[in-house]
Structure 1
């Protein structure tokens, strides 16, 4: 078999391993889903009336706000799923299974690729559940079939990029606890963007950061696709950020894995 065929076969094997771990220990997936749902309920039913009125100018702003905030909740779900990749990689390093894999006749890249592919499956499944909860509380997108395909493409690109970054963060972490905390800014960034309030309402210094950080064009692209409004340059910026983060995370991860001594 060619080197590419071996890498694909070994990656599929590692993917099955990671999917079995997810099924055996569903608490991590549950946490990925529960946290965004809690934030969704909190912001819609506690803050939604006031924040929605500020956005739409209407007295019944809660219905408007659930449509505004759901893309941010979806982004948080993807970021939370990516965080689990850092934990999983760190656990493998700490428990010594990576050292065993190094002695086996398998493609080295497949070990990390299995984590990435498994996390993508986990992220997309979690997003579907969170969107289901959002629909129950009043989320009403107007997207057509092609727009939904675009939403899926953007979310896959984002999940792929963040997961490679988290795989690298998991490798630089000295413990599982550190690995769970190091990617935490990924969960916070939607709050410092256009996720929960328009950037125009933020103080000038924070507004500058909010407008140019990676998650803002991603969330604005999702809003445009979901509600059939122009996305402008946000889609290009969103995919550009995803490409840069994915490439940087992959190269960093590969370098760390190739030189990482067994723990």
Structure 2
């Protein structure tokens, strides 16, 4: 006797999320090139800025201590941007339609991508940080400051992962998703990641000082190097929470609009 599909009990949200997280992690393992590029590109930039430009920017030789926090966020940005392509691929290849025929909430596919991306990016960030120690990075953080820095980095990764997930839902093709992600990755270059904003033209300082990346970098730099944190941490947390909340709402609305609410 064929069982009515409507009578099949829907699995718990935790079980459904776990299945989609496992699916995304398996895709990450099978697509190792994305993880490798997310690690290698920031490492290459760190080596270039440290050994090629570092002597000119900071003749004292301590430029590596200044640039590493910016490189860490750049690594997080590169890693997070790949989720836009993954989400767009799922939305355009028909897999969502198949999920909607099952007794599950198909929006968990987005959650799976986000959790897997955050885990992947934390691993990539840890590797980049290890290389930074090898090239001379010498943090002076206390144990509490270490926990604070890791917390801010994790929040930043989560925030921009959800933002890129929303972008993946907006665009119509994986190629377009990659292009939009590339545009956002220019933000660290217009911040205090590589040089103090005071060295920039006056008109550019206003942009650099008042965009989301600069307070996050300054917070991480202050925590890792034992410097005064001032009010950077409140601006960093405020920007991250605001962007995260907006991205969550935007992603949910876009998904239900495109795939249909279950």
TM-score by length of 2: 0.93
Q: CA RMSD in A?
A: 1.6
Which of 129, 140, 143 in structure 2 is aligned with 1:142? Answer: 140
Partner of 1:35: 41
Partner of 1:58: none
Q: Counterparts of 1:98 and 1:223 in 2: how far apart (Å)?
A: 42
Answer yes or no: is the 8 Å Cα contact 2:39–2:128 preserved in 1: yes
Task: Report the CA distance between 1:261 and its aligned residue.
Answer: 4.5
1:152 deviation in Å?
1.0
Which of the two has higher C-alpha Rg?
2
Secondary structure, aligned partner of 2:227: coil
Runs of 4+ in 1 over 3 A off after TM superposition: none
Q: What are the equivalent positions in structure 2 for 1:3-22 lying under 5 Å apart?
A: 6-22=12-28
**1:157·1:242 contact (CA, 8 Å) conserved in 2?**
yes
| Conservation of the 8 A alpha-carbon contact between 2:96 and 2:106 | no
Distance 2:104 2:215 in 1: 39
The one of 94, 107, 110 equivalent to 1:109 is 107
Q: Distance in 2 between matches of 1:109 and 1:155?
A: 26
Please, which runs of 5 or more residues in structure 1 have no aligned partner?
54-60
Q: Which runs of no fewer than 5 residues in structure 2 stay unpaired?
A: 1-8
Aligned to 2:6: none
CA displacement, residues 35-83 of structure 1 (integer Å, 9 cap, x when unaligned): 1011001101100001113xxxxxxx33x10010000000001111110
Quick one: distance in 2 between partners of 1:202 and 1:243?
Answer: 28
- The CA distance in 2 between the partners of 1:81 and 1:101, in whole Å, is 26
Cα drift, residue 109 of structure 1: 3.3
Asked if structure 1 preserves the Cα contact closer than 8 Å seen for 2:96 and 2:259, the reply is: no
**Which deviates more, 108-117 or 42-51?**
108-117
Shift of 1:154: 0.3
CA distance in 2, matches of 1:81, 1:183: 10
**Mapped pair 1:26 → 2:32:** yes
For residues 165-212 of structure 1, give each alpha carbon's deviation from its aligned partner in whole angstroms, at most 9, with x where no partner exists. Answer: 101101111111111110223321111010100000000111000000
Distance 1:201 1:131 in 2: 26
State how far apart, in whole Å, the 2-side matches of 1:44 and 1:103 are.
53
